[in-house]
Amino acid sequence: MTKTLISVLLWALAGYVMGAGFGANVGWSVFTFGLLLMIFVSGLQLSRVSRWAADIESPPPPSVGPWDDVLSQIYRKLRRDREQIAQLKLDIRRMLQAAEALPDGAATLDGQMQLTWCNRSARKHLGLKPKADIGHSIFNIVRHPEFARYARQNDWSEPVEMHVASGDQSLTLLVQLVNYGIDRYLLVSRDITQLERLETTRKDFVANVSHELRTPLTVLSGFLETLQDMPPDSLTSEQRKHYVELMSEQAARMEAIVSDLLTLSTLESTPVAEPEPVDMSALVHTALQQGRVLSRDQHVFVEHCEPELQLLGVAPELASAVSNLITNAVRYTPKDGTITVSWYRDDDGSAVFSVQDTGIGISPKDLPRVTERFYRADRGRSRATGGTGLGLAITKHVAMRHDAELRIQSRYGSGSTFSLVFPARRIAAAANDGAA
């Protein structure tokens, strides 16, 4: 402003000096005219500055005289501020997107424990509805006594476990409150349903293993105590032989359980090996020979295999699955029953290995659980025939590692059919070329 006033005075004074040569009145007239002209020009410039101030987002007007430097500094500052605000908005939006993507639930509460925001996981875990619930007390939304007791206590260092219903399933949640500011709280929820199931499975597995091994160990211990307590000459050779045979059977049973456990552990903990062409026909033939030995010529075996149909996979794993299915058929099929083993290419292009028997079948209530570890539809018969209760669990894992599906069809008292269905992409190239 000072610079402007000085410029106006200098221009007016110059006009007065130039006009003074024609007389004092002329000099003063020129001076006054120059002054008025400068005021008019300044007014126009100020008007353009005022219009720009009303729309300050646009660039400043050009050629506003002494205002140019001031406006350029203001505009540069505004542009920097706008860029910073835009960056902050982008950062906030990204933070909200990251919060929405969190697998754990997160919700913010004010000093009165009223909901102010929640992410997608919190909506799923706790049934929150932002449009309806924001601004309402969390105690009116999450109606669980254990949460109410937890939230009203002074110490939130440990989370509280809650069981909630979500749709048609039940969830187990760990919920914790965190104070993150003055009268501001963060409610965090974590879904531990799967961890709880795994822990239950682990406990059941340990209990089952202990139970399965306890029986043969008890038999072995009993016979050993009997042999130790009896005088050496009190047993006949036949009795001693009988005892040794029984102990050998129990030792073999424990060995089979340990072997199957190691196989199952390997399947669960090791990466899938690079697949190679496997001659399934030869593999099935070998497993059938073992099945006939186990059968002791008490069953009728029927074999239908396509010798040219080969599979991309891991031969030892496939041999284990095939052997388990044939062995189960032998164990659960009465004498003179028929066991039909097939390996063929289906009409939809998939490759199918199936074992059909005329055995005792599986009741509908047992059918969904037969692939669980140590689950037996007929416990007495399985133990009597040397089953470990792990064969179908191993077969299921082998199927998963080969992109296959284990299908079970059974009618109680009328036999069962177990099938491994492999997708067409698992068929070896030679077999594909032959089919084409």
**Residue 362 is assigned to a structural domain of this protein:** yes
Q: Can you give the length of the chain in residues?
A: 436
Convert the pLDDT of each residue in 391-400 to its tens digit: 888 889 899 9
Which residue among 14, 47, 81 closes a domain? 81
b/e per residue, 24-52, with b = 16+ CB within 10 A? eeebeebbeebbeebeeebeebeebbeeb
Convert the pLDDT of each residue in 6-17 to its tens digit: 665 665 566 555
Q: Which tokens in the block code for residue 14?
A: 């110059």
b/e per residue, 299-338, with b = 16+ CB within 10 A? bebeeebeeebbbbbbbebbbbbbbbbbbbbbbbbeeebe
Residues 152/177, Cβ–Cβ less than 8 Å: no
pLDDT for the residue numbered 23: 53
**Residue 90 is assigned to a structural domain of this protein:** no
Indicate the average pLDDT of the chain: 81
Helix (H) or strand (E) holding 126: helix 120-126
Residues 6+ apart with CB under 8 A from 29: 19
Q: Which tokens in the block code for residue 378?
A: 């007929």
The residue segments making up the domain with residue 120 are 102-191
pLDDT for the residue numbered 165: 82
Cα gap 146→101, rounded to integer Å: 27
- Which region, left, alpha or beta, applies to residue 135 given φ > 0 means left and ψ of -120 to 50 means alpha? left
Task: Supply the CATH number for residue 289's domain.
Answer: 3.30.565.10
Claim to verify: residue 50 and residue 120 sit in the same structural domain: no
Cα gap 353→407, rounded to integer Å: 10
pLDDT for the residue numbered 27: 58
Give 273's Cβ-side CA count (13 Å radius). 13
Is the pTM value of this prediction over 0.75? no
**Residue 361 is assigned to a structural domain of this protein:** yes
Claim to verify: residue 182 and residue 215 sit in the same structural domain: no
Q: Is the dihedral of CA 192, 194, 196, 202 positive or negative?
A: negative
Q: Which tokens in the block code for residue 253?
A: 């049973």
- The residue ranges of DSSP E strands in 157-261, in sequence order, are 160-166, 169-181, 184-191
Q: Which tokens in the block code for residue 167?
A: 């749709």
Claim to verify: residue 220 and residue 337 sit in the same structural domain: no
**Residue 89 is assigned to a structural domain of this protein:** no
pLDDT for the residue numbered 204: 67
CA-based nearest residue to 122, from 170, 166, 158: 166
**Residue 234 is assigned to a structural domain of this protein:** yes
CA-based nearest residue to 211, from 42, 394, 379: 379
Helix (H, G, I), strand (E, B) or coil at 25: helix
**Residue 363 is assigned to a structural domain of this protein:** yes
Residue ranges, the chain, pLDDT below 70: 1-46, 48-49, 52-54, 56-58, 60-61, 63-69, 71, 201, 204-205, 208, 211-212, 232, 376-388, 429-436
CA-based nearest residue to 397, from 270, 288, 283: 270
Extract long-range pairs of 421-425: CB within 8 Å, 24+ residues apart.
421/346, 421/350, 421/351, 421/352, 422/311, 422/313, 422/350, 422/351, 422/352, 422/353, 423/350, 424/348, 424/349, 424/350, 424/351
**Residue 335 is assigned to a structural domain of this protein:** yes
Task: Supply the CATH number for residue 117's domain.
Answer: 3.30.450.20
- The residue ranges of DSSP E strands in 91-168, in sequence order, are 105-109, 115-118, 160-166
pLDDT for the residue numbered 65: 63
Cα gap 269→252, rounded to integer Å: 26
Claim to verify: residue 72 and residue 129 sit in the same structural domain: no
Residues 6+ apart with CB under 8 A from 389: 208, 212, 373, 374, 375, 376, 382
pLDDT for the residue numbered 436: 43
Claim to verify: residue 182 and residue 255 sit in the same structural domain: no
Cα gap 288→303, rounded to integer Å: 9
Task: Supply the CATH number for residue 243's domain.
Answer: 1.10.287.130
Which residue among 269, 299, 326 closes a domain? 269
Q: How many domains does the chain have?
A: 4
Residues 378/410, Cβ–Cβ less than 8 Å: no
Residues 358/333, Cβ–Cβ less than 8 Å: yes
**Residue 96 is assigned to a structural domain of this protein:** no
Helix (H) or strand (E) holding 225: helix 193-229
